[in-house]
Each structure stands twice: as structure tokens, then as C-alpha cells.
Amino acid sequence: MTDTAARLLLLLSLLQSRPEWPGPDLAGRLGVSGRTVRRDVDRLRALGYPVDATKGRGAVYRLGAGTEPPPLLFDGEQAVAVALALQLAPQTVTGSAEAAARALTTIRQVMPARLRHKIDTMQVTTVANSWEFLARPVDAAVLDAVSDAVRRREVIRFDYHGDNSLDRRSDRRAGEAEAWSPPLRVEPHRLLVWSGRWYLVAWDLDGGAWRTFRVDRIAPKMRTGLRFTPRALPAADIAEYVRCQVDRGDTADDWACYGEAILETPASLVARWAPGGAIVEDLGPNRCRLTMGAWSWIGLAALFGTFEADFEVVGPPELLDACAALARRYAAVRDRPDD
């Protein structure tokens, strides 16, 4: 934000904080000259804010009278960003749809007419189970508890569920209960969203190491009230750190077809590019096990082939058959005579 923009926001905040402001007082609070105050007031008026002022060197400023609150200080791009964010929020956070809709309505009411029209044209319809590898949405109350602990730098205790074994996923599909770990105590440092999934980067107090947790698998317990001193993060680029983590708490989503293969390529590379919800197990410097799901066996076979690495199918037989069918299909394309 530029100095001018920051000063305008502060000026608007001051004008809203009390009925009237003498010009010299505003200049003193803003650290500028009276002339700059007058120019900033003109800028606010140009943006649609009704600012009244008495004439003369001892001018007194106040927001104009009226029942409607002053319009928000958004430009067109910001208005579009806010409208999109509020409409997409329910896609990753359950229980937020009503609050997001009310927030968008409130913001719309205090925007200038030209921006209200702009966000009215940005109506977004989200579709579940689309082509994207969408994650299970995070409960709004859980996200609030975790983000509050991050903000307060407070140790958080929670139960954590999920198991990376294919057998356990099959059991869950059959209706059996998910596996829960013993309660964990961590220092929460950073929240991150990647591929529609919320992750928490935290220091595991019992394990003495950095860990990455899927927030949708966290069940917070009572607040601890224990504050901690932030540690140096495990990487300068925390987003890249999470993307390349093999053990980041992912479990495969509910797809019709699941398969497993051994790939002759580094696990960190596969973790970086595998679809959301895929499970990667490090088997050595240039070898890993990848388990993931897809909409069809042919689709799953094609996904395994996207890593440009030799691989061996572990199972099930349907995946091996799909690889053979896909190979024949590609071979037919290669051998087709040119027109």
C-alpha cells in the first residue's frame, strides 16, 4: 500500500471516530500539512465519501450527514476480489455460506453505485464433484479455533484422524470408524490453503519436529492458555515446503477407483505434482509409492503416466488392465498412417 493510500485510510478512520475534526488536529494526527489534509479530503470526495468542511484556515471536517454509511474504499479490482472470495469461501469452509452471503450483502450496501454494479455481475456458482480434485470442506468452527491459536501464539491440543493405508480407506468406505491418533500438542505457526485443502504447519511438542496437518482432520480440544515464542519456520517458502511434504496428512478422497504404484522418481517431486488427496510414501532417493484415486480406471492409469517416470503397478488388477488398454490406445495413435 502506498503512503497516500495508507494515509487516506487513516483519515477516513479518524473522520468516522468522532463527529468533527479541526484541520490542525487532523494534520497533526496524520503528520502532514494543512494543504495535504485538504488534498486528501478532495481525494475522499472523488471516491464518493461525503466530507463536509467549514471555510477558512481553521476549517473543521466531518463526514456528511445521512442514514447510509459512507462507501468502502475499494477500487474495481478489489471489489471483484472481495465478491469472488466471499462466494468461493463455502467451497472450502463448511458452515460459512450464510455468513459469507450476509457479509457480501453488507459490503455491497456501503459501496459506491459503480462498484455495486460490478460485484452484482460477479455471480459465481460452484459445482461439487467437478473435474477438480476438491477437498472435504473444513468446519468453520475448527478453522476459527486453529486460526485463533495461530494468531494468539497459543499451544493447541487436538485429536487427529486419518490413516494413510489403502486398507483403512477401504474400511472407511465400508462404514467403519476412522483411526484417531492420541491427542497432540503443537505450536501452530502458519495456515495455508493448497489445492482447496487447508493445512497447518506446526511444531510438534511431543515429537520435537515440524509437522504439517490437514485442518479438516483436526478436532480441537479445550484451550491450553499456554503461549509460545515463534520459531524460525522450516523453509523460507512455506507454500513450497508444504507442497513437497510427503507426510502432510493427506488421504485419498472418495473416488470410484483407487490404485497404487511404485514410481522411479523422488517422492518430493511426486508430492509436489500429485493431485490433491494423493498419498506419497518415500522409498528411497529416487523411488516412491503413490496411491491415488480417479473417476475411472483409464483415467487413473493416465494420471500415473503423467510423472514421466517408469512405474510398477502394485494393484488392483483393474489398474493394470487399464494401463494395458491405454498402451494399446496410444500405440494405435502412433501407428495410424498419416492422412
What pLDDT score was predicted for residue 313?
A: 95
Percent of the chain at pLDDT > 90 equals 29
- How far apart (Å, rounded) are the C-alpha atoms in residues 44 and 23? 15
Residue predicted with more confidence, 100 or 184: 184
What pLDDT score was predicted for residue 166?
A: 37
**How, if at all, do strands 93-94 and 138-139 pair?**
parallel
* 158: β partners: 184, 220
pLDDT at 164 exceeding the cut of 50 = no
Confidence of residue 200 (pLDDT cuts 50, 70, 90): very high
Q: What is the mean pLDDT of residues 145-172?
A: 72
User: Please, are residues 57 and 48 in contact by the beta-carbon 8 Å criterion?
Assistant: no
User: Please, are residues 154 and 187 in contact by the beta-carbon 8 Å criterion?
Assistant: no
Could you identify the residue written with the cell 493447541? 156
pLDDT at 311 exceeding the cut of 90 = yes
Q: Of 22-26, 118-122, 254-258, 313-317, which range is least confident?
A: 118-122
Q: Is 35 exposed, middle or buried (0-12, 13-18, 19+ CB in 10 A)?
A: exposed
What pLDDT score was predicted for residue 309?
A: 92
Q: Of 12-26, 89-103, 179-193, 301-315, which range is least confident?
A: 89-103
In degrees and rounded to multiples of 5, residue 306 shows phi and psi of -75, -10
Q: What is the mean pLDDT of residues 165-189?
A: 59
Whole-angstrom CA distances from 319 to 80, 161, 263, 300, 302 are: 44, 28, 15, 7, 10
Give SS3 for 19: coil
pLDDT at 2 exceeding the cut of 70 = no
Q: What is the mean pLDDT of residues 257-264?
A: 93
What pLDDT score was predicted for residue 320?
A: 95
Axis-axis angle for helices 76-92, 97-109 (nearest 10): 170
User: Please, are residues 188 and 200 in contact by the beta-carbon 8 Å criterion?
Assistant: yes
Q: Which of 62, 169, 81, 175 is nearest to 122 (CA)?
A: 81
What pLDDT score was predicted for residue 301?
A: 94
- How far apart (Å, rounded) are the C-alpha atoms in residues 175 and 177? 7
Confidence of residue 20 (pLDDT cuts 50, 70, 90): confident
Confidence of residue 275 (pLDDT cuts 50, 70, 90): confident
Question: Within a 10 A sphere around the Cβ of 173, how many other Cβ atoms?
Answer: 10
What pLDDT score was predicted for residue 74?
A: 64
For the segment(s) 3-63, the CATH number from 1.10.540.10, 1.10.10.10, 1.10.3720.10, 2.40.37.10 is 1.10.10.10
User: Please, are residues 184 and 206 in contact by the beta-carbon 8 Å criterion?
Assistant: yes
Residue predicted with more confidence, 73 or 62: 62
Radius of gyration of the chain, Cα coordinates, nearest whole angstrom: 27
Q: What is the mean pLDDT of residues 109-132?
A: 63
Q: What is the mean pLDDT of the chain?
A: 80
Q: Which of 261, 267, 269, 270 is nearest to 282 (CA)?
A: 267
Residue predicted with more confidence, 278 or 267: 267
CATH architecture group of domain 257-335? 2-Layer Sandwich (3.30)
* 211: β partners: 202
- How far apart (Å, rounded) are the C-alpha atoms in residues 18 and 21? 7
